[in-house]
A = this chain, B = another copy of it.
């Protein structure tokens, strides 16, 4: 018997040949634009240090943030994120998520200066669903590391302008390459669906239970060792009367090789292990959100002039409200206190960062396409540069306009 594939297989395979996706005969395949969708968002910012340590002598910290390079004495408008996503159900059992950012810089250009606006990958993953109800899925490729609730939440959804140092220090850039298994009981998915429909800021489709194996060297960085990061996240939503509460925990075991000021990557890997907890009460109309994590990681030791494994801890507590206006828009006032003590592993020489900050702000979702955030932050921060000592203090006024498409 001729071992030629049956017609069904042929139809299914036709499209992978690159040029003529018009092969299928019987059940008309979906048009490409019904399988795939383009969307995205852009964040335009304007920060102003209204008082404090805008500049400082060499050797002392200036008021700077690891999250936003335009908190500076020399800045005006900046594009923080320019995202384009290509996503869709590419078969009954496989979905695609491919996101890039046009707010990525390339260093070392003319006069050694940086150039803005290059397109760089954020996510490139496929979800393979193992059951019909999509409660189990395996995520393959570059995606967010399942560690920390706010790390999972899209920046397009987040209320504060930046993530907290404490939680984000685990995975700056949030992504890595690997394989993650997610499991979400249907009852929990229903609660999240209800929250999403209501317009609440959930953390997205990252499952109630997630466990992953990833490179562990960070977003868009070349793998530097032969070991894998192990990481897990649990987040469980509950009904408590008319309110919805979500609680969870994260754990991460990794070895990390920081980049060195002397050039290249550390030949030695450092333990990069953490555990964290989170809880949130979704705002109906007042909510609370808090996370904390503890662990150890690479940190520059000034006494010895070398990187060592040191303890770290940090997190935040946030309160927020959610109010509808008569015109159909939504107002989200919020306040967040954050604290962090530990290394910033992706900066040169993994400098120690000491952060205490209070941010008070208001997000106005004027319409689906446009959101405006105003924030005032009282910052006390050490600069993420091991050559600069002490901490800078100051008050920063921040504005962001975000358009969604």
Question: Which residues of A does B touch, CB under 8 Å?
Answer: 2-6, 8-10, 12-21, 23, 31-33, 35-42, 44, 69-70, 73-79, 82, 84, 86, 88, 90-91, 93-94, 96, 98, 100, 102-122, 124, 126, 128, 140-142, 154, 156-157, 177-179, 193, 196-199, 201-202, 204-205, 214-215, 219-228, 259-261, 263-265, 284-285, 321-324, 328-330, 348, 365, 367-371, 401, 403-405
A108 to B367, CA, bound (A): 42
Which residues does chain B contribute within 8 Å of A223, judged by CB atoms?
70, 74-78
Chain B residues with CB under 8 Å of A220's CB are: 115-117
A19 to B, closest residue via Cβ? B205
Nearest neighbor of A101 in chain B, beta-carbon distance: B117
Q: How many copies does the complex hold?
A: 3
Q: Which residue of B lies closest to A346 (CB)?
A: B110
Instruction: Assess whether B42 is in contact with A124, with CB atoms less than 8 Å apart.
Output: yes
Q: What are 9 A-to-B residue pairs whose CB atoms are below 8 Å?
A: A5-B322, A8-B328, A9-B328, A14-B199, A17-B199, A90-B403, A96-B403, A102-B120, A110-B348
With the chains together, A378 CA to B78 CA distance in Å? Answer: 41
- Tell me whether B86 and A18 are in contact (CB under 8 A): no
User: A33, A117, A260: which has the most chain B beta carbons within 10 Å?
Assistant: A117
- Chain B residues lying within 8 Å of A367, measured Cβ to Cβ, are 12, 91, 93-94
Which chain B residues lie closer than 8 Å to A76 at the CB level?
177-178, 215, 223, 226-228
Further 6 A-B residue pairs, CB within 8 A, beyond A14-B199, A108-B109, A112-B264: A12-B368, A16-B156, A16-B365, A20-B196, A98-B405, A118-B121
Kindly provide the distance from the CB of A230 to the nearest chain B CB, expressed in whole angstroms. Answer: 12
List the B side residues contacting A324 at CB < 8 Å. 3-6, 9
A17 to B111 Cα, complex, angstroms: 37
Q: Which of B3, B16, B79, B102 contacts A368 (CB 8 A)?
A: B16
Q: Which residues of B contact A107 (CB under 8 A)?
A: 108-110
The complex places the Cα of A106 from the Cα of B100 at a distance, in Å, of 15
How long is the Cα–Cα vector from A395 to B309 in the complex, in angstroms?
A: 36
Partner of A116, one of B75, B77, B221, B403: B221
Give the shortest distance, in Å, between A89 (CB) and chain B (any CB): 9
Question: Do B404 and A177 touch (CB < 8 A)?
Answer: no
Contacts of A10 in B (CB 8 A): 197-199
Contacts A9-B324, A42-B98, A111-B263 given: A18-B141 contact, CB under 8 Å?
no
Quick one: given A116-B220, A368-B13, are A90 and B405 in contact (CB under 8 Å)?
yes
Cα-based distance from A124 to B31 in the complex (angstroms): 24
Residue ID in chain B nearest A224 by CB atoms: B74
Residue of B nearest to A283 (CB): B3
Name the one of B8, B16, B113 contacting A221, with C-beta atoms under 8 angstroms.
B113
Find out whether the CB atom of A120 lies under 8 angstroms from the CB atom of B119. Answer: yes
Q: Which residues of B contact A221 (CB under 8 A)?
A: 113, 115-116
